[in-house]
Amino acid sequence: MLWEYLGAGSSTTKLLLHLNWNANDSSGNWNNLTPTNIIWTNWIIWNWSANCNTNSFLSINSALWIDWWNITVMLKLKINTQITSWFSDIFDNWNTNTKTLYVIDYDYNWWTRRLRFHRVKNGVIDNFFTYNITLIPWKIYTIWLKYNWSNLYWYVNWVLVWNIVASGNWTSNFTSRTYINWAWNWIWNQCLFDEVIIENRVWTDNEIKKYYTYSQWKFIL
């Protein structure tokens, strides 16, 4: 498929899902996710694959062994139907080896739609941010988080929307797992995914912008 990320080696790329008819991991680490209530599709233009509705998700209950000081997560998605109540959990990762929780969800509250971002060390700290945005149905978005031990960053497409000083901290007891599109509360047929990347490194702003540009099929590599 044009354009798909090829990864940076299994020691760096911990999870790479192209979602071309399955949830198999292309990182070399065999972190295949298990689909639950997923309708697989193969569109000619985008090859989007995971057509998710209420109680539909991809999951793995094992550690990805991401170093606690370097992490980048990217999800390329589009919503199929606009949410009109409550929220949908787009991404839920408890898989760093120090059990830090990262969550991204799309929320509708008091007539405002927004992306909500969390980084939690259980019983230690909760870095929480909301970014007001109405995701337009059928428009492609790339959602990013990255953490470099001292600072936390969130991006929509290639634009930095928030950053905060966040210490690494040391204690937590979360269970290892990763969920993608674990949805609740009458959100039907809500989201389509094309690619998911989790890496044990911090992407530069230039790399994020290049990925966004190339993955919109503006250039052929």
User: For 93-111, how does the pLDDT look when each residue is reduced to its tens digit (9 = 90+)?
Assistant: 766 666 788 888 888 887 8
Is the pLDDT confidence value at 132 over 90?
yes
- Backbone φ and ψ for 214, nearest 5 degrees, come out as -65, -35
Beta bridge partners of 65: none
User: For 143-195, how does the pLDDT look when each residue is reduced to its tens digit (9 = 90+)?
Assistant: 999 998 889 999 999 999 999 988 766 666 667 788 887 665 555 556 778 88
Is the pLDDT confidence value at 4 over 70?
yes
Alpha carbons 20 and 9: distance in angstroms, whole number: 20
119: left (phi over 0), alpha (psi -120 to 50) or beta: beta
**pTM of structure:** 0.88
